């Protein structure tokens, strides 16, 4: 019977638990990245890139512990030293960039690469074979995840999307000649994050509109307002009555609605149309 024992709130602590368990039971411990055999296995990705991309000139690889990056760099650099290899870390946990990482748990979209201590095997390989290591921030990772989801239909975890993040923020420039390859490693994203990512993305693109309106507190009052929104082509996401802390007249209620719109122009047209129909309506900002 196989049993899974969870231990630790970070990769480093979990590895220490696993090593202790292996020593206690006589089992063989296989490190997730800091092992020559693991690096060799991950180096096969470099072979695939060489075979599949004849004009390969730059590779951008997520960097956590360094097994994947060092393996790819070893392979492509020995094939062609002119191929540029760049590692990307998340700013909240970037020991290869800053020399250390914060203590305690790290809250990040890129938890798959939030490794606090460079590997004893991988760090020297990265120092020797990798051209540059840079870091990207959380917001740019969220943008990269949504770009991949919308344009490529790939649901990539934060740690796997950092290479795209580096490109869209100009932290790394595409190669002048040949092909720049971005490695997307990992689809283990928490589905619970998706709603928040989509909401943030829609808001930044001007496709979410929050409005507050005063309406009649009589039967049909809310239905008439929602019908007006529908006539202007807006999709209702959420609606709630707001009666507390708002200056309302007798037999009047406040309504806050979250709407999906096509963009800023569509939002302005909807607001103007509601006001033309006599509604006291205003946009809610700061969300």
Domain coordinates of the chain in residue numbers? 31-195, 207-283
* Of the options 3.30.70.330, 2.70.98.10, 3.40.50.1100, 1.10.10.10, the CATH number for the domain spanning 31-195: 3.40.50.1100
Question: Rounded CA gap, 234 and 184, in Å?
Answer: 35
pLDDT of residue 82: 97
Residue 13: predicted pLDDT: 81
Instruction: Answer yes or no: is pLDDT of 286 > 70.
Output: no
User: How confident is the model over 265-285, as a mean pLDDT?
Assistant: 91
Reported in sequence order, the residue ranges of 117-195 that DSSP labels E, i.e. its strands, are 132-136, 179-182
Percent of all residues in the chain with a pLDDT value above 70, rounded to a whole number: 99
Q: How far apart are CA 129 and CA 192, in angstroms?
A: 38
3-12, 65-74, 101-110: least confident range: 3-12
Query: What integer is the mean pLDDT of 234-242?
Result: 90
CATH architecture of 207-283: 2-Layer Sandwich (3.30)
What is the distance in angstroms between the CA of the first residue and the CA of the last residue of the chain?
A: 51
Q: Which residue has the higher pLDDT, 280 or 246?
A: 280
Going by pLDDT thresholds of 50, 70 and 90, the confidence category of residue 3 is confident
Other beta carbons less than 10 A from residue 241's beta carbon: 12
pLDDT band of residue 242 (cuts 50, 70, 90) is confident
Return mean pLDDT, the chain.
91
State the Cα–Cα distance between residues 165 and 147, nearest whole angstrom. Answer: 9
Q: E-strand spans in the chain?
A: 56-62, 84-90, 132-136, 179-182, 208-216, 235-242, 252-260, 280-283
How long is the chain?
A: 287
Which of 125-129, 137-141, 184-188, 267-271 shows the lowest mean pLDDT across its residues?
Answer: 184-188
The arithmetic mean of pLDDT across residues 253-280, rounded, is 91
What predicted TM-score, i.e. pTM, was given to this entire model?
A: 0.79
Tell me the β-bridge partners of 102.
none
Assess whether pLDDT exceeds 60 at residue 197. Answer: yes
Average pLDDT for 21-38: 91
| E-only strand ranges, 77-188 | 84-90, 132-136, 179-182
Q: Does the pLDDT of residue 125 top 90, yes or no?
A: yes
Dist CA 254 CA 236 (whole Å)? 16
Q: Give the span between the Cα atoms of 101 and 116, in whole angstroms.
A: 5
- pLDDT for position 215: 86
Question: Is the pLDDT reported for residue 108 higher than 60?
Answer: yes
For residues 174 and 205, the answer to whether their CB atoms sit within 8 Å is no
> pLDDT, tens digit, for every residue of 134-182?
999 999 999 999 999 989 999 999 999 999 999 999 999 999 999 999 9
Q: What's the pLDDT score for residue 244? A: 75
């Amino acid at each position: 019977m196989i049993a899974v024992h969870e231990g630790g709130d970070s990769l480093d602590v979990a590895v220490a638990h696993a090593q202790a368990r292996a020593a206690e039971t006589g089992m063989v411990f296989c490190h997730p990245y800091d092992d020559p055999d693991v690096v060799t296995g991950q180096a096969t990705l470099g072979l695939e890139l060489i075979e599949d991309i004849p004009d390969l000139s730059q590779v951008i690889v997520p960097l956590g512990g360094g097994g994947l990056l060092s393996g790819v760099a070893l392979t492509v650099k020995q094939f062609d030293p002119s191929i540029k290899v760049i590692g990307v870390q998340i700013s909240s946990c970037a020991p290869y960039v800053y020399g250390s990482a914060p203590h305690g748990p790290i809250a990040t979209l890129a938890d798959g690469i939030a490794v606090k201590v460079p590997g004893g095997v991988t760090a020297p390989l990265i120092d020797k074979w990798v051209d540059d290591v840079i870091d990207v921030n959380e917001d740019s990772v969220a943008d990269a995840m949504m770009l991949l989801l919308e344009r490529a239909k790939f649901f990539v975890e934060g740690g796997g999307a950092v290479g795209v993040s580096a490109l869209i923020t100009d932290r790394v420039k595409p190669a002048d000649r040949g092909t720049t390859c971005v490695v997307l490693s990992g689809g283990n994203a928490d589905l619970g994050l998706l709603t928040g990512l989509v909401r943030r993305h829609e808001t930044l693109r001007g496709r979410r509109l929050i409005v507050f309106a005063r309406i009649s507190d009589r039967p049909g009052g809310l239905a008439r307002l929602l019908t007006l929104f529908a006539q202007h082509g807006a999709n209702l996401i959420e609606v709630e009555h707001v009666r507390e802390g708002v200056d309302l007249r007798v037999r009047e209620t406040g309504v806050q609605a979250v709407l999906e719109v096509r963009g800023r122009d569509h939002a302005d047209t909807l607001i103007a149309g509601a006001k033309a129909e006599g509604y006291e309506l205003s946009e809610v900002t700061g969300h």
